């Protein structure tokens, strides 16, 4: 409801799954293939069964939190009358450092889990840390703004029928600038 868009939630889901998929791949490389032995991680023939499930739940929630925080600011700028490109730049400028700092703090906290000698906790901590690092440095800092620039005004589109269902105003594509310009506000 906050984004009032059909495109933004779909983009968020796809990019969140990208971070999670990258973490799963790194888990296999580091633990199953033994690439992490040189830093003291225990090579193991399998990923503990509970690790992918817990990783998915935690990472999807954390990634979505970062997405909502970043894109909400972009939506605020769009609602104030900024163009799509201006909204993306202003949103990233105003919240990008904060999201990155929060992610790096989470990265450091999750890396603490790999210090022990329990394989499952090492896998869980490494998976969380790797995904968060990928999410805040590559996905949120590069892919989200790039995708939003490519989608243009379609980022903010909400069809009339769906708007009625969620009880918000539809987001027509052609009326944004006219609705938010000072001339339109004064009635000129």
The string of pLDDT tens digits covering residues 52-75 is 999 999 999 999 999 999 999 998
pTM of the model: 0.83
For residue 70, give every residue at least 6 positions away whose Cβ sits within 8 Å of its Cβ, in sequence order, or none: 91, 92, 95, 96, 99, 140, 144
What mean pLDDT do residues 26-37 have? 90
How far is it, in rounded angstroms, from Cα 136 to Cα 142?
Answer: 9
Whole-number mean pLDDT of the chain?
A: 87
Are 140 and 70 contacting, i.e. CB atoms less than 8 angstroms apart? yes
Give domain 7-181's CATH architecture.
Up-down Bundle (1.20)
Going by pLDDT thresholds of 50, 70 and 90, the confidence category of residue 2 is: low
* Portion of the chain with pLDDT greater than 90, in percent: 65
The string of pLDDT tens digits covering residues 74-126 is 989 988 989 999 999 999 999 999 999 999 999 999 999 998 889 999 999 99
Which comes out higher in pLDDT, residue 35 or 23? 23
- Which of 100, 101, 122 minimizes the C-alpha distance to 112? 122
Tokens of 150: 């490519």
Please report the pLDDT score of residue 177 as a whole number.
47
The domain limits of the chain are 7-181
Dihedral pair phi/psi, residue 15, rounded to 5°: -70, -35
């Amino acid at each position: 409801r906050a984004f009032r868009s059909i495109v933004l939630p779909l983009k968020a889901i796809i990019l969140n799954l990208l971070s999670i998929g990258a973490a799963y791949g790194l888990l296999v490389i580091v633990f199953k293939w033994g690439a992490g032995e040189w830093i003291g991680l225990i090579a193991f023939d399998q990923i503990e069964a509970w690790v992918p499930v817990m990783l998915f739940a935690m990472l999807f929630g954390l990634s979505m939190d970062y997405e909502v925080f970043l894109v909400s600011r972009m939506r605020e700028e769009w609602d104030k009358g900024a163009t799509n490109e201006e909204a993306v730049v202003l949103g990233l400028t105003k919240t990008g450092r904060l999201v990155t700092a929060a992610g790096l703090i989470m990265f450091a906290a999750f890396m603490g889990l790999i210090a022990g000698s329990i394989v499952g906790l090492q896998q869980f901590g490494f998976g969380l840390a790797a995904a968060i690092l990928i999410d805040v440095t590559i996905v949120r800092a590069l892919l989200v703004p790039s995708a939003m620039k490519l989608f243009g005004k379609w980022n903010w589109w909400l069809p009339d029928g769906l708007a009625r269902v969620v009880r918000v105003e539809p987001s027509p594509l052609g009326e944004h600038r006219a609705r938010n310009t000072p001339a339109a506000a004064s009635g000129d």
